[in-house]
C-alpha cells in the first residue's frame, strides 16, 4: 500500500526572487559549469544549498553542508521561502519537445509526501544499483538541513489515467518556468480535502518504481531509521483536517522523517521518455581497437562502420539495428564498430543474472564488453574508474576523437516495460542505465522536517 500525504510546502516567494533564476536541475545533473551559472543567476539560487562550492579553509565547523544549513535558515527567516497555509498536493506539468523530433509532449504528475518503505515490503521498487559516495554526500546534507529540496521521481501504473483525470483543470498554473533546455514547468496547488482524499484512495493499491532518485531515497530511508533509533521527540505529521474527517487517520502517528517528497508520474503516460546513457571508457593501460574487435566478436557479430560517422547517423544505425535485438556502437579514435546479433554467451559471463536482464543491451555491454572484453572489474565500473556516463552522443564521440577517451559505447534506451519487469522482479540494472527526460526541477517545493 502506497501511503501518500499532502504537506505544507516551502516555496520561493516570487515577490522577492525570480523563480526561474533560483530553481535548478537535480544535483547529480549539475556540472561545474552549470553550478557557476546558477551561482551568478541569483544570490538565492538553490544550488548554494544542494551543491555548494567547497572552500580551501573548509573544516568540520565550516563546509558546504554547514553553509547549506545556514543559507536555508537565513532564507526562511528573511521570507525568501514561504510556507503554504494549507496541506496540499501540487500538480506538476512539463511540456517539452521530444528529443530528436519536433513533436511536443506533455508529462503530468503530482508532488506529495510518500512514506518511506524498505524494498522488502514490496511497495517501493528500485531498478538501478546505487553507490556509497553519493549517498554519504546526501546524508550529510540531510543531517545538516533537515529538509528535502529535490523531487524523487516515482512511477506508478494507471492505464486508464484516472488519477491524471482527477487532477486536470483549466485554471492557470500558480507557477510557470522555462528551464535552460526549453522545458516548460507548471505547478498548481491543490488543497481541496475531498480531491486529495480521492487521489490518496486511488494511490493506495499502487506499487512504486523509483525512476530517478535512488541515492536520495536510500539516504532518506537511512536517515529516517537513524532518527527513529535516536528516539528523538519529533512533531507528528500535521493532520490538515479535524473533526470526523479521517483522511489521514492511517498516518497520524507517523513522524515527518518517515516521509520524503516525491513526484508521482503515471508510467503508462505517453509523455514518459527514457533516453540512453552512453559509456565513455578512458585511461585503460593497453587499449587496442583491434583487440576490442577480436574479443567482441566472441559475443556479437561485429561490422565495421564508416569511421567518419556523425551523431545523427549513429542514432539511425542504432535504431535500425535495434529493431532486431541488441545493438551497440563502439567508437574508437580511428574505427567504429556495430555490435549486434548476439552469439551464444557462457552463463558464467552473466554471473547468475536472470534471462530478462541478459536480454538488455546495457547488461550485455557491461558483462560482455566492459568486463569480459576490456577486463574492467565490476567494482571499478561501480566506482566509476576509467568510465564516464554521458547522455549526448555528440559529446561522447567528441571525447574519443579529441583523444580524451579510448572508446565510446553508444546504445538504444531501455524500454519502460523492461524497467517495470526488472523492478517488480526485485532485480537491478547497472547504474546509469536509464535517463528519464526531462528532469524534475529542484526548488519548486521544499519539505522541511522541522
Q: What percent of the chain has pLDDT over 90?
A: 83
Amino acid 360: pLDDT: 93
Distance CA 365, CA 349 (A): 11
For the chain, the distance separating the N- and C-terminal CA atoms, rounded to the nearest angstrom, is 26
Asked if residues 92 and 184 have their Cβ atoms less than 8 Å apart, the reply is no
Q: What span, in angstroms and rounded, lies between the C-alpha atoms of 206 and 195?
A: 18
Question: pLDDT at position 236, please?
Answer: 52
445 close to 11: Cβ distance less than 8 angstroms: yes
Question: What rounded mean pLDDT belongs to the chain?
Answer: 92
Count, residues in the chain? 450
Query: How far is it, in rounded angstroms, from Cα 214 to Cα 128?
Result: 7
Exposed e or buried b for every residue in 93-105, given b needs 16+ CB within 10 A?
bbbbeeeeeeeeb
Q: How far apart are CA 195 and CA 193, in angstroms?
A: 6
Q: Does the pLDDT of residue 74 top 90, yes or no?
A: yes
pLDDT for position 243: 33
CB atoms within 10 A of CB 450: 9
pLDDT band at 250 (very low <50, low <70, confident <90, very high): low
Confidence check: pLDDT of 121 > 50: yes
Q: List pLDDT tens digits, range 402-421.
A: 999 999 999 999 999 999 99
pLDDT-based confidence at 239, cuts 50/70/90?
Answer: very low
3-state secondary structure of 95: strand
pLDDT at 244 over 70: no
The closest of 16, 22, 147 to 80, measured between CA atoms, is: 16
At 256-307, the pLDDT tens digits run 999 999 999 999 998 899 999 999 999 999 899 999 999 999 999 999 999 9
* pTM of structure: 0.90
Closest CA to 89 of 21, 163, 172, 13: 163
Helix (H, G, I), strand (E, B) or coil at 105: strand
Please determine, for residue 253, whether its predicted confidence score (pLDDT) is greater than 60: yes
Helix (H, G, I), strand (E, B) or coil at 90: strand
Which 3 state secondary structure label does DSSP give 140? Answer: helix
Domains of the chain: residue spans and CATH: 4-273+438-448 (no CATH), 277-412 (3.30.1760)
Amino acid 357: pLDDT = 93
Q: Model confidence at 316, in pLDDT bands (50, 70, 90)? A: very high
Q: What angle do CA 240, 260, 54 make, to 5 degrees?
A: 130
Give the range among 18-32, 123-137, 407-421 with minimum mean pLDDT. 123-137
Average pLDDT of 87-96? 96
Given a contact cutoff of 8 angstroms between Cβ atoms, the answer to whether 275 and 412 are in contact is no
Report the pLDDT averaged over residues 219-247.
65
Does the structure show a pLDDT above 70 at 317?
Answer: yes
Which of 223, 180, 155, 207 has the alpha carbon at shortest distance from 38?
Answer: 180
Quick one: the chain helix, strand, coil %, rounded to 5? 35, 25, 45
Residue 246, pLDDT score: 43
Is pLDDT above 80 for 313?
A: yes
* Residue 74 in grid coordinates: 537565513
**For position 410, what pLDDT does the model report?**
97
For residue 245, what pLDDT is reported? 41
Do the beta carbons of residue 278 and residue 414 sit within 8 Å? Answer: no
Average pLDDT over residues 438-446: 97
At 102 the pLDDT is 80
Q: Give the mean pLDDT of 14-38.
A: 96
Contact (CB, 8 A) for 152 and 210: yes
Mean pLDDT of 13-18: 97
With beta carbons less than 8 A apart as the criterion, state whether 153 and 210 touch: yes
Asked whether the predicted pLDDT for residue 248 surpasses 80, the reply is: no
Cβ atoms of 58 and 66 within 8 Å: the answer is: no
Q: pLDDT band at 217, cuts 50/70/90?
A: very high
Q: Given a cut of 70, is residue 175 above it in pLDDT? A: yes
Q: Please choose, from the candidates 263, 237, 265, the residue with its C-alpha nearest in 3D space to the C-alpha of residue 114.
A: 263
Q: Which of 353, 365, 371, 357 is nearest to 300 (CA)?
A: 365
Per DSSP, what are the bridge partners of residue 338? 303, 329
Average pLDDT over residues 127-152: 93
At 432, the pLDDT band (50, 70, 90 cuts) reads confident
pLDDT (tens digit per residue) in 345-401: 988 999 889 999 999 999 999 999 999 999 999 889 988 899 999 989 999 999 999
**CB-based contacts of 173, cutoff 8 Å, min separation 6:** 93, 186, 187, 188
CA separation for the pair 1, 220 (Å, rounded): 19
pLDDT at 97 over 50: yes
Amino acid at each position: 500500500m502506497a501511503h501518500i500525504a499532502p504537506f505544507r510546502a516551502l516555496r520561493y516567494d516570487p515577490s522577492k526572487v525570480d523563480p526561474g533564476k533560483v530553481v535548478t536541475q537535480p544535483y547529480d545533473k549539475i556540472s561545474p559549469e552549470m553550478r557557476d551559472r546558477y551561482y551568478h543567476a541569483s544570490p538565492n539560487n538553490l544550488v548554494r544549498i544542494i551543491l555548494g562550492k567547497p572552500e580551501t579553509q573548509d573544516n568540520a565547523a565550516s563546509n558546504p553542508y554547514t553553509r547549506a544549513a545556514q543559507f536555508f535558515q537565513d532564507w526562511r527567516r528573511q521570507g525568501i521561502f514561504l510556507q503554504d497555509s494549507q496541506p496540499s498536493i501540487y500538480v506538476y506539468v512539463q511540456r517539452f519537445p521530444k528529443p530528436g523530433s519536433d513533436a511536443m509532449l506533455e508529462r503530468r504528475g503530482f508532488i506529495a509526501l510518500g512514506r518511506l518503505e524498505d524494498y522488502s515490503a514490496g511497495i517501493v521498487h528500485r531498478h538501478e544499483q546505487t553507490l556509497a559516495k553519493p549517498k554519504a554526500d546526501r546524508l550529510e546534507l540531510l543531517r545538516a538541513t533537515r529538509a528535502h529540496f529535490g523531487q524523487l521521481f516515482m512511477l506508478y501504473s494507471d492505464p486508464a489515467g484516472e488519477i491524471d483525470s482527477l487532477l486536470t483543470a483549466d485554471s492557470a498554473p500558480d507557477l510557470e518556468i522555462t528551464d535552460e533546455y526549453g522545458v516548460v514547468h507548471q505547478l498548481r496547488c491543490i488543497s481541496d480535502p475531498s480531491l486529495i482524499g480521492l487521489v490518496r484512495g486511488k494511490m493506495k493499491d499502487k506499487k512504486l518504481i523509483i525512476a530517478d532518485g535512488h541515492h536520495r531515497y536510500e539516504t532518506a530511508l537511512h536517515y529516517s531509521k537513524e532518527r527513529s533509533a535516536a528516539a528523538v521527540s519529533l512533531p507528528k505529521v500535521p493532520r490538515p483536517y479535524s473533526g470526523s474527517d479521517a483522511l489521514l487517520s492511517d498516518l497520524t502517528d507517523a513522524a515527518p522523517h518517515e516521509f520524503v517528497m516525491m513526484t508521482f508520474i503515471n508510467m503508462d503516460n505517453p509523455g514518459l521518455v527514457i533516453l540512453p546513457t552512453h559509456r565513455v571508457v578512458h585511461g585503460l593501460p593497453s587499449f587496442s581497437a583491434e583487440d576490442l574487435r577480436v574479443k567482441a566478436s566472441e559475443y556479437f557479430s561485429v561490422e565495421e562502420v564508416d569511421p567518419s560517422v556523425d551523431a545523427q547517423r549513429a542514432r539511425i544505425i542504432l535504431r535500425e539495428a535495434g529493431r532486431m535485438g541488441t545493438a551497440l556502437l563502439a567508437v574508437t579514435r580511428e574505427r567504429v564498430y556495430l555490435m549486434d546479433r548476439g552469439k551464444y554467451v557462457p552463463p558464467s559471463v552473466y554471473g547468475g543474472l536472470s534471462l530478462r536482464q541478459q536480454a538488455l543491451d546495457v547488461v550485455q555491454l557491461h558483462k560482455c564488453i566492459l568486463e569480459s572484453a576490456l577486463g574492467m572489474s565490476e567494482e571499478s565500473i561501480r566506482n566509476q574508474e576509467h568510465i564516464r556516463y554521458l547522455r549526448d552522443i555528440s559529446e561522447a564521440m567528441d571525447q574519443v576523437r579529441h583523444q580524451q577517451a579510448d572508446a565510446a559505447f553508444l546504445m538504444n534506451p531501455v524500454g519502460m516495460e523492461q524497467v517495470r519487469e526488472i523492478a517488480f522482479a526485485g532485480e537491478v540494472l547497472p547504474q546509469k542505465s536509464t535517463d528519464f527526460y526531462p528532469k524534475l526541477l529542484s526548488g519548486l517545493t521544499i519539505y522541511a522536517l522541522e
